[in-house]
Amino acid sequence: MRQIKKIAITNEKGGVGKTMTAVNLSACLAQRGYRVLLIDADPQGYATLNYDVAVSPSLLEVLRGQATCTETVQTTCFGVDVLPSDRTLSIIEEDLIRQEMNGAPYLNTLEKALEDLADYDFVIIDCPPQGGRLMDIVHYYADAIIMPMFAEDYGIHALTLKAEAIADIRRTINPNLKILGGLITMDERRGLRSVF
């Protein structure tokens, strides 16, 4: 059985705690002695802001081949390494669409960009709320996903939709992608909010 080490934190619905899940999961794993990299693949860049690291160079430059992982990854006082991003990452969508239209393979863009990455026990990826080519390259790269959600009807509906989408992703992008499950980040009936 293939070891799960690259985990994407994803949900098409915004505001459900994706970034806080990615930030806290990476910190908890590092606290337990694992070597952890957090990739901020969300153009909003909140994971980068949470760890208070510089944003230049960023994931955009790594994806474009303008910087290496060694130059870009930053170590934090929490023992988590961060590959930062900011709003300029949204430009990569146009690059990936152009590659696809020209018949060039684009799905392995993230995988190729991270070839010189140091060896990590876990790579946690904070994902954007919307889909698109950026999410395609994350799905291709990842071993599994965790889906943060609220304990509400919409949360269950979103989980169902994501499960259906993953079935399609397995057919077309990554046959080995696993769903580790939904993670309840807030129970509105009790007014409880948590990140674990």
Q: Rounded to two decimals, what is the model's pTM?
A: 0.88
pLDDT band at 6 (very low <50, low <70, confident <90, very high): very high
Q: pLDDT tens for residues 10-48?
A: 876 666 678 999 999 999 999 999 999 999 999 999 999
Domain range summary for the chain, segments of one domain joined by +: 40-142
Exposure of 120 by Cβ count < 10 A (0-12 exposed, 13-18 middle, 19+ buried)? middle
pLDDT at 5 over 50: yes
Which residue spans within the chain are E strands per DSSP?
Answer: 6-9, 36-40, 74-75, 80-83, 122-126, 144-150, 178-187, 192-193
Q: Which pLDDT value is given to residue 80?
A: 97
Fold of the domain built from segment(s) 40-142: Rossmann fold (3.40.50)
pLDDT at 169 over 60: yes
Single-letter code of the amino acid located at 180: L
pLDDT at 191 over 60: no
Cα–Cα distance measured from residue 107 to residue 135, given in angstroms and rounded to the nearest whole number: 10
Percent residues over pLDDT 90 in the chain? 63
pLDDT at 1 over 50: no
Q: Which pLDDT value is given to residue 190?
A: 54
Q: Which of 100-104, 106-110, 130-134 has the lowest mean pLDDT?
A: 130-134
Q: Which pLDDT value is given to residue 153?
A: 67
Cα–Cα distance measured from residue 73 to residue 83, given in angstroms and rounded to the nearest whole number: 5
Of 194, 180, 186, which Cα lies nearest the Cα of 146?
180
Q: What is the DSSP string of 67-86?
A: S-HHHH-EE-TTSEEEE---
pLDDT band at 67 (very low <50, low <70, confident <90, very high): very high
pLDDT band at 187 (very low <50, low <70, confident <90, very high): low
Average pLDDT of every residue of the chain: 87
Segment (H or E) for 59: helix 59-63
Of 7, 6, 78, 16, which Cα lies nearest the Cα of 46?
16
Of the two residues 39 and 195, the one the predictor is more confident about is 39
pLDDT at 83 over 70: yes
Q: Which pLDDT value is given to residue 185?
A: 65
Q: Which pLDDT value is given to residue 151?
A: 67
- The mean per-residue pLDDT over the stretch 136-153 comes to 86
At 123, list the tokens: 């790579």
Sheet holding 80-83, edge to edge: 74-75, 80-83, 36-40, 122-126, 6-9, 144-150, 178-187, 192-193
